[in-house]
Structure 1
Amino acid sequence: MTTLAVTGHTDLTEETVPLVRAALRELLHPYSEDLTGVSCIAAGAESLFAEEVSAMGGRLVAVIPSLDYGTAVVKPEDAAVFDHLNETAVEVQTLPYETADRAAYEAADSELLKRADRLVAVWDGTPSSGRGGGTADLVEEARRAGVPVDVVWPDGAARRG
């Protein structure tokens, strides 16, 4: 069984979503016979990854950073996807942090790496902000830990703002 964890941008443009979805489908295909995907199921890249893992019959494991994540962080327009992925996951691990703060996100990232054979990063290559807990930070941490990283950023992909 291969376990792939995901990290990625939440602010993908509407035009980028199908590009990333197709790239993820292509990346995941070789693992489809025995795939486990681990995701915090945040909006954007992480939810797209989780949806693709589920669509190909893989096992989805959700790692929720904090007890209040679903109400404090998930936006109303993303709640239906978040709830659906929570329900379809074969395992949901909610970390014991009261609030979704930097410590909770870093702990969730550590849990992703602990479970992963590989890390999929839907990432435009932007360096770390230095605040911790971001996509670049997890990519750096994975590389330091010797976890192989597959970067997904298809031609034409962009972030909002």
Structure 2
Amino acid sequence: MTTLAVTGHTDLTEKTVPLVRAALREVLKPYSEDLTGISCIAAGADSLFAEEVSAMGGRLVVVVPSLDYRSAVVKPEDLPVFDHLNETAVEVQTLPYESADRAAYEAANSELLERADRLVAVWDGTPSTGRAGGTADLVEEARRAGLPVDVVWPDGAVRGG
């Protein structure tokens, strides 16, 4: 069984979503026979990855960074997808952090890397903005640990505001 973790941008534009979905399908296809996907199911790349893993019949494992993550971080318009992915996951691990802060995100990232055979990064290649737990930080951490990283950023993909 191959376990793929995901990291990626949350601010994908509406036109970018189908491009990323198609690119994720291609990355996941070689593992479709025995796939486990692990995700924090944040809006954007994390949720798209989780949906594609589920659509391929893979096992979805969710890591929720903190006890208040759903109420403090997930936007109302993203709640249906977040709740659906939690319900369809074979495992949901909620980390014991009271609030979704730097420590919670770093712990969630560590959990993803610890459990994964590879990291899929929906990433435009921009460096970290200084906000801990971002896509660039996790890609760098994975590479330092010797974990293979598949970067997904299809032609025409852009980030929104």
Question: What is residue 151 of structure 2 aligned with on the other side?
Answer: 151
Question: What is residue 140 of structure 1 aligned with on the other side?
Answer: 140
Question: What is residue 92 of structure 2 aligned with on the other side?
Answer: 92
Q: What TM-score does the superposition give when structure 2 sets the normalisation length?
A: 0.99
What are the equivalent positions in structure 2 for 1:7-156 lying under 5 Å apart?
7-156=7-156
SS in 1 for 2:57: coil
CA-to-aligned-CA distance 1:33-89 (integer Å, 9 cap, x gap): 000000000000000000000000000000000000011100000000000000000
SS in 2 for 1:93: strand
SS in 2 for 1:36: strand
* Letter aligned with residue 62 of structure 2: A
In the alignment, the residues of structure 1 paired with residue 49 and residue 133 of structure 2 have an alpha-carbon distance, to the nearest angstrom, of 19
In the alignment, the residues of structure 2 paired with residue 59 and residue 71 of structure 1 have an alpha-carbon distance, to the nearest angstrom, of 25
What is the percent sequence identity of the aligned residues? Answer: 88
In the alignment, the residues of structure 1 paired with residue 66 and residue 40 of structure 2 have an alpha-carbon distance, to the nearest angstrom, of 10
SS in 2 for 1:138: helix
Q: What TM-score does the superposition give when structure 1 sets the normalisation length?
A: 0.99
State the number of aligned residues. 161
Q: CA deviation at 1:128?
A: 1.2
In the alignment, the residues of structure 2 paired with residue 131 and residue 18 of structure 1 have an alpha-carbon distance, to the nearest angstrom, of 27
* Letter aligned with residue 145 of structure 1: A
Structure 1 runs of 4+ aligned residues shifted over 4 Å read none
In the alignment, the residues of structure 2 paired with residue 29 and residue 111 of structure 1 have an alpha-carbon distance, to the nearest angstrom, of 24
In the alignment, the residues of structure 2 paired with residue 31 and residue 108 of structure 1 have an alpha-carbon distance, to the nearest angstrom, of 23
SS in 1 for 2:6: strand
Unaligned runs of 5+ in 1: none
